Structure formats: C-alpha cells, structure tokens
Chains A and B, each alone.
Chain A
C-alpha cells in the first residue's frame, strides 16, 4: 500500500478483547452519584434531581444539535409548554400527572411540527435567531397571559409525580421516578443514534448535499429531529413542575438556554454520555465550590474555561482520548 506519513493513523480492525474501560468508568460514576443522592439529605436530592431533569432536556437538545447538527436556542419554549401544561392539567383539571406528562409531550410535539416546518428552512445563524425568538415569545406569553399562567406570580400547588394510587410522595421517590425516565430517555437516544434514522441525521450534520444525494429527505429528517428534541424538553419541563411543585416564567427563561448549552458543550456534544456528564458537572460544580465563598463564581468559571479550552470536545471527548473505546 501507500507509504505516506498518514500510515501512522490508527488501524483498528483488530477485535481486541480489552475491557470497555470508558463504559465501566462512566457506569461506576453514575452509580456513585445515584448512591450518594439516595443516602444524602434533602438539599443534595434536590440538586441531583435538577441535574437529572437537565440531563433529560440536554439529551433531546443533543439529538437536534449534536447529531443532526442544527442550532436551537429556543428549546426552553418546549420545556415551558411541558411545565405549564402539566401544571394546569393536574392542578386545575385534576388530570393524573402521568397522563398530563404524555398529553403535554404530544402537544409540544405538534407545536414543534408546526413551528419547525417553516423555521427549519433557515440555516446557521438565521435558524439560531428564529429559534431564540421562539423562546422569547413563549417567555412573554407565560408572563402576560395571566388568566392561563398566573404571570409573574407563578403556578403553585402542582402535585407530585404519580399514576393511579401510586404517588411519589417523598423527594427521594420523585428522584427515583426521574432517574428511571432519564434512563429510558437515554436508552432511546442511544438506540436512535445507531439506527438508519440516526445515521441519516448525523449524515445531515456532515453534509446536507451528500445526504440528499444518497436519497435522505433532509428537510423531513431535520423536522423529525426537532420534534424529538421538543418531546424531551417537554418531558423535562413537566418533571420540573412536579418535582418542585411550583413554576414561574423565570424557570424557563433564557438562563435555561445558557445553562443547557454549557452542559452540552462541557459534557461533549454529539455523544450519548456528554449531556449526562455535563448536567451533573455543571449542577454540582457550584455546590462543590461553596468553600471559596466570594470567589465561588470565579472559580467555577475558571474551571469551565479550562475544560472548554483544553477539551474542546467536552469531557466525553477527553475520556475518548484517555480511554479509547474498544470495538469488535
């Protein structure tokens, strides 16, 4: 064959029987977080519950941004739909929380379909601006349509998660439900990633031209992946409403966009583990830095900048480099 210097690149056809260290490490860390959460006090349970909800949100966002390669700055709109939908249906109309969760997801999916159809014709920065506007519009509606949302006052008296006679009364039970749903969501995303549909989406991210030339309906697949992200966001919004029992417009404001982007890029966009790692690290970092008192925020930002500069593909990418995946 050729004798170019490129020959030094990895040749990985060997069916090496080495242990999948990366997966083992991640599973061990995940188990550690869960054990820690269930043995700790109420405050820790709350922090980890938020992290899990954000992880679910980011897993959906990652499908649209990481896999399909499109920008959305407005996923918070669908979290708001989920949160307010669940709040109104359960607190005002006495729906079962589980039923309300599914109904609001369906509603968010339909909204994503209607909004996405014209919006996804845009590309790059234009798509980013249009989706950003979507988030802002939803925020304004949640403030001003006071008959429906109670405006700035927020919505309280939202019951905990449950179905039929089974209710997650304590925070730890709620956390268990959230973690189970998160696990389902992550498994679904992993299944989609390595399917005909998922590969086509990742192909679109690589080159829309080439994807189209191979017969992939680019516009339709973008739309479907936008709807998938909206379903995750809506579920995350509903879970938040039930977990806290109270929502207000600020919960689903622009800060949510910034927070989820930080998690996505820090954890590693375009990977399955990335959103999980990002959500846990970004949620726990400020807590671990409390000892620094006044310098807490500075310390937090220094660590964030360090990771973004030295691990541009996020923590998941860093793990990839340190512990290469063994494949058959």
Chain B
C-alpha cells in the first residue's frame, strides 16, 4: 500500500527545470531513499513533498489524499513530519522541551485551557512528560534531558531532531540529509535509531549523500540526476545499475536519449 505517491512531478524555476516528470511511490513500512549527485533536484523534490512550495505539474498523494499546494503546518497535521538538513532546533529550550513541542500535533489545548489547568489538561501534561522520557530513552538522549539544546554536540542535535519529529507520531517521516556533517560513529548511531524508528511502524523517506548509510538502511532507492529519475530499485540493483554508476562517475553513456 502506498503511503506516499509522487506522480509526474515537475518543478520549473524560470527556465531551470529542477524536477522533470518524477514518479515513484513509497510503500507503508518502507525506508525509501532518494539519492543523486549535487544539484540533481533532491531537495526541490523534498520541499514539494513537505509543502514548502507547490509543484509546477503533477501531484503528491499522501495516505490517499492530494497534499500538493497545502501549507506546511496542514501537511504536518496530516502526519507527514520532516527534519531539516541544517538542524532547526529550538535552541533556548531544553532537550526535553524540544521533544515536548513535538507533541503539538497529537495533543489539544490553547490559552484558556492552559490558564484553567483542568484535571484533563494536567493529565495530558503528565502524559507528555512520560512519553518524552520514553522517546529520549529510545534515541539515547535521556542523560541530556535538562540541557539547553544548543549545548548538544552536532550528532546529538540530529538525534534530537529525529526525537522531536517522533513525538508528533508521524505516519511518514521525511529526513533531509540526516547524516550530513556527522562522523562515522555518529552516522552508525543514527542508522541504528532510524532502523528502530522504522521497526515501530513509521514509514521513512530520506534524501542523503552518504551512500554507506543509504545502502545499509534503505529498502528501496530512487536515483535522480539532472532533475529526472534515472533508476529505482533495491540497494543491490542500484549498486550495479549502469546509469547510476555513470551519473556518479561523471560518464555520459547510458542516457543520450
């Protein structure tokens, strides 16, 4: 069953075609990776899925609904939660508070309920605190709970971003180059967490430069080059695909159409 279907997506910025008729689908329960050389149009595609801007042509279908051209917050409310390539933490908040904000989508209450502090509200706060502790345990950040987020080392900031996204109970988690800037040790810790998240029934789509990470965790991979999808398949198929090898090694044979 398709969790996310990308159908004939094209994006033009003036004369530049960033994505050209890209089609693929991410099945429920999958870890799906989109790879490609620099400038292949991965980030543009990602931004259209997350709702940062609408596609010029084609549509994005998430969990049976067309979401292309909906605002970001609405898409998030529907259960599609993203992280950012440049970590976007709430720096002045503690690690635990960052995760607590993540529960926004799945909790209720505004100004008045905050002032009235009804038993139901207090119960919700207790639940948020308990689940936050669980999630921090899950990603291995329990020992940092009360530290201000901007004091964390980079690898842990990445983990915190994933933890915060998890709090929103996403149906589909979009990870934008999660391994960027991480050392090998941090990357393998991240791979472990991503796998664990996926085992908890979260479908994941990521774009990534780190081939090692992608080959290790992805069930299925789509390869973009010059805005077009040039290949799709399992890691083993992609590894030996002539067009992919050509795109990465800079050759020209294989797509003179």
A: residues with CB less than 8 A from B are 2, 4, 6, 9-13, 188, 191-192, 195-200, 202-203, 205-207, 209-218, 224, 228, 270, 327
- Supply 17 A–B pairs (Cβ within 8 Å), ascending by A: A9-B147, A9-B151, A11-B144, A12-B145, A13-B142, A191-B114, A191-B115, A192-B111, A192-B114, A199-B100, A210-B89, A210-B164, A213-B88, A214-B76, A214-B164, A216-B101, A228-B111
Total A-B contacts with CB atoms under 8 angstroms apart: 123
> 1/0 contact trace for B42-79 toward A, CB 8 Å?
00000000100000000000000000000111001100
Give the residue of A4, A12, A188, A206 whose beta carbon is less than 8 angstroms from that of B153.
Answer: A4
**What does DSSP make chain B's interface, helix, strand, loop or mixed?**
helix
B90 within 8 A of A: yes
User: A10-B147, A13-B143, A202-B92 known; A215 and B114 CB under 8 Å?
Assistant: no
Report A-chain residues with C-beta under 8 Å of the C-beta of B168.
214-215
Query: Knowing A2-B185, A188-B115, A215-B77 touch, does A206 contact B91 (C-beta < 8 A)?
Result: yes
Interface centre among B73, B125, B143, B168 (most CB of A within 10 A): B73
Chain A nearest CB, measured from B79 CB (Å): 9
| CB closest residue in chain B, given A9 | B151
Question: In the assembled complex, how far is the CB of residue A204 from the closest CB belonging to chain B, in whole angstroms?
Answer: 9
Cα–Cα distance between A210 and B164 once the two chains are bound (Å):
10
B102 at interface, CB cutoff 8 A: yes
Residues from chain A with a CB closer than 8 A to the CB of B109 are 195-197
CA distance A20 to B7 in the complex (A): 58
Q: State in angstroms the CA–CA spacing of A218 and B109 once bound together.
A: 15
B73 touches A203 (CB 8 A): no
User: How distant is the Cα of A197 from the Cα of B77 in the complex, in angstroms?
Assistant: 16
6 cross-chain pairs, A with B, having the tightest CB-CB distances, nearest first: A206-B90, A195-B114, A210-B88, A215-B76, A215-B105, A207-B88
Complex-state Cα separation, A270 to B144, whole angstroms = 22
- The interface residues of chain A lying within 8 Å CB-to-CB of B84 are 209-210, 213
Give complex CA distance A213, B71 in Å. 10
Decide: A270 near B92, CB < 8 A? Known: A12-B147, A212-B73, A214-B76: yes
**Complex: how many Å from CA A13 to CA B147?**
9
On chain B, the residues within 8 Å of A191 by CB distance are: 114-115, 117
Q: List the B side residues contacting A199 at CB < 8 Å.
A: 93, 97, 100-101, 104
Q: Does B228 contact A (CB under 8 A)?
A: no
Contact B153 A210 (CB under 8 A): no
Task: Please measure, in the bound complex, the distance between the C-alpha atom of A209 and the C-alpha atom of B50, giving whole angstroms.
Answer: 11
Task: State A126–B72 Cα separation when bound (angstroms).
Answer: 24
Given A202-B92, A209-B88, the answer on whether A214 and B114 have CB atoms closer than 8 Å is: no
Contact in complex: B107, A196 (CB < 8 Å): yes
CB neighbours (8 Å) of A4 from chain B are 153
> Does A197 contact B110, Cβ atoms closer than 8 Å?
yes
Residues of chain A within 8 A (CB-CB) of B147 are 9-12
